[in-house]
């Protein structure tokens, strides 16, 4: 059945389940590295060529965990800059790291060796560039990231080199959203729908026999960070909260936020 304007509010059959799963996956996404003030984390770089974008991060649903890729240069209608103000737009780069530090969530579950998105704004990007130039490559190296206080970058003030890691030996321990990669790979090789999801999340391809290489891959930034179209962006921004503490240039919410306001 269709509505008077030609749209449809339902689907028949089960064909739409794949699209809905992709929508849910894009909403959840990978966890981002966040270091509490006064703490440190040991992380291993999976890649070292950051994907750099312009981004917005408005306050929505009571928090600032709402990073969205700017539409400028992608669509003529730049909804994010129009609604949030151009001054809320910032430049950042992304890499994939394995968080080797052990921590507990609010339910008391222990986590370790989780794949995380490492977001670096301009100051952190410059620091990363120096570290990489010193070593030519940082792939497979462990670093201690120290964050002095809540006013510092969420990925730390100081990065101290620890050692080179044997990535093949780390693979059995590495996990994504609570599931070990080795188990996720096995499921993907048996279930086509899981394989689609794995390829959505990671830059990885199966061989001719449908087997995934036993490696720790970087995230698929081109899917995870893909900008929404103007229609979806407009709908998404309906949850933006008016926040006088972070005004943008046009008086609406969504201006630049302090590092300690982004607890992801």
DSSP 88: G
Sign of the C-alpha dihedral computed for residues 196, 197, 203 and 209 taken in this order: negative
Both structure tokens of 136:
């030519």
State pLDDT tens for residues 156-213: 989 999 999 999 999 999 999 999 999 999 999 999 999 999 999 999 999 999 999 9
State pLDDT tens for residues 30-75: 999 989 999 999 999 999 999 999 999 998 888 888 899 999 999 9
**Residue 236, pLDDT above cutoff 60:** yes
Both structure tokens of 121:
């704004």
Q: Chain centroid to CA 113: how far? A: 16
**Residue 121, pLDDT above cutoff 90:** yes
Q: What percent of the chain has pLDDT over 90?
A: 66
DSSP 86: G
**Residue 119, pLDDT above cutoff 70:** yes
């Amino acid at each position: 059945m269709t509505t008077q304007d030609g749209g449809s509010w339902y689907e028949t059959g089960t064909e739409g389940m794949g699209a809905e799963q992709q929508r849910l996956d894009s909403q959840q996404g990978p966890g981002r590295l966040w270091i509490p003030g006064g703490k440190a984390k040991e992380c291993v770089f999976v890649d070292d060529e950051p994907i750099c974008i312009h981004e917005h991060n408005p306050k929505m649903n009571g928090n600032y965990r709402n990073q969205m890729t700017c539409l400028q240069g992608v669509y003529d209608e730049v909804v994010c800059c129009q609604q949030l103000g151009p001054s809320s737009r910032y430049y950042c780069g992304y890499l994939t790291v394995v968080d080797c530090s052990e921590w507990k969530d609010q339910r008391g579950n222990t986590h370790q060796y989780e794949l995380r998105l490492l977001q670096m704004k301009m100051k952190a990007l410059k620091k990363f560039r120096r570290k990489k130039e010193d070593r030519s490559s940082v792939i497979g190296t462990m670093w201690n990231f120290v964050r002095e206080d809540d006013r510092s970058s969420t990925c730390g003030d100081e990065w101290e080199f620890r050692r080179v890691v044997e990535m093949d030996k780390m693979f059995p321990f590495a996990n994504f959203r609570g599931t070990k990669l080795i188990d996720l790979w096995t499921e993907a090789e048996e279930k086509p729908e899981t394989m689609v999801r794995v390829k959505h999340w990671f830059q990885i391809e199966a061989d001719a026999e449908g087997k995934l290489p036993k490696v720790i891959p970087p995230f698929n930034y081109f899917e995870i960070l893909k900008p929404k179209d103007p229609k979806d962006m407009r709908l998404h921004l309906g949850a933006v909260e008016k926040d006088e503490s972070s005004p943008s240039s046009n008086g609406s919410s969504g201006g630049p936020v302090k590092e300690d306001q982004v607890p992801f």
